[in-house]
């Protein structure tokens, strides 16, 4: 009985300590950004571009850091920071730098959820979001692949909540690597306007892409169970082949 009480106390102490540290990191990050003036420079593509260019060589490190922070602590839309990188470094280099920061942030978020469990997730995303997505991922683990590809789902929250499920590290990392790579490279290369311009014939193509995305979102919701079963069969077949 005493051992159980001691274990419970240690868990409560550890969770409280982690919450305190994360709160401190969040508050300090905010005040450092405000004090340095960075906070007012990261709310638009042009402002982020100006900030990174002003840092010269170190701008690459700042860009990777911003991509990491937008997954974990700072509510910056990923499209804004990614497109700012495209304007500075071009689509290829921006894709690689973005992928580095986003993958690090995703892995860190998953580690937080796995290591410190439900209390830390509720603290960071709220009880409603935590229960909603943890319940969904527990029943539809393989749909995580599709969810990470489509823009309607909260990728960053999903990475954090995924740590609460029985999802393995290997599955999480491989899924993120594939989905994040596709999403980021598509955003950088197509969003740059070099492949599909934002004028003339390009407008018709963008309209088709927009409709296609909406249809994909609708189908993914309507046939959620069928997609989950299909992905389950595919992953299980691959797992058997790898084991052999």
The token pair at 231 is 């992905």
All residues at 6 or more sequence positions from 14 whose CB lies less than 8 Å from its CB, including other chains: 116
Residue with tokens 């469990």: 117
pLDDT reported for residue 98:
92
- Tell me if 164 sits within 8 A of 63, measured CB to CB: no
Question: Residue 137's pLDDT band (boundaries 50, 70, 90)?
Answer: confident
Say if residue 8's pLDDT is above 90. Answer: no
Say if residue 60's pLDDT is above 70. Answer: yes
Residue 151 or 204, more confident: 204
pLDDT in tens, 70-113: 888 776 777 778 888 888 888 899 999 999 999 999 999 899 88
Among 123, 139, 36, 41, which Cα is nearest to 81's? 41
Say if residue 220's pLDDT is above 60. Answer: yes
Say if residue 171's pLDDT is above 90. Answer: no
pLDDT reported for residue 227:
66
Percent of the chain as helix, strand, coil, to the nearest 5: 85, 0, 15
pLDDT reported for residue 29:
62
């Amino acid at each position: 009985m005493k051992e159980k009480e001691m274990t419970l106390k240690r868990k409560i102490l550890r969770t409280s300590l982690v919450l305190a540290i994360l709160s401190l990191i969040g508050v300090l990050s905010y005040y450092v950004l405000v004090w340095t003036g960075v906070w007012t420079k990261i709310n638009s593509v042009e402002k982020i571009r100006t900030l990174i260019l002003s840092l010269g060589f170190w701008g690459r490190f700042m860009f990777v850091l911003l991509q990491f922070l937008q997954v974990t602590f700072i509510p910056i839309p990923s499209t804004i920071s990614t497109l700012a990188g495209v304007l500075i470094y071009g689509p290829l280099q921006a894709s690689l730098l973005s992928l580095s920061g986003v993958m690090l942030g995703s892995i860190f978020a998953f580690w937080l959820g796995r290591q410190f469990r439900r209390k830390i997730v509720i603290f960071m995303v709220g009880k409603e979001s935590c229960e909603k997505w943890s319940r969904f991922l527990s029943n539809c683990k393989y749909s995580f692949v599709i969810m990470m590809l489509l823009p309607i789902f909260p990728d960053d929250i999903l990475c954090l909540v995924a740590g609460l499920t029985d999802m393995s590290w290997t599955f999480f990392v491989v899924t993120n690597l594939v989905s994040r790579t596709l999403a980021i490279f598509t955003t950088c290369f197509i969003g740059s306007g070099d492949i599909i311009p934002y004028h003339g014939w390009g407008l018709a193509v963008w309209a088709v892409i927009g409709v296609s995305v909406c249809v994909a979102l609708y189908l993914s919701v309507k046939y959620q169970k069928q997609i989950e079963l299909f992905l389950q069969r595919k992953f299980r077949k691959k797992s058997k082949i790898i084991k052999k």
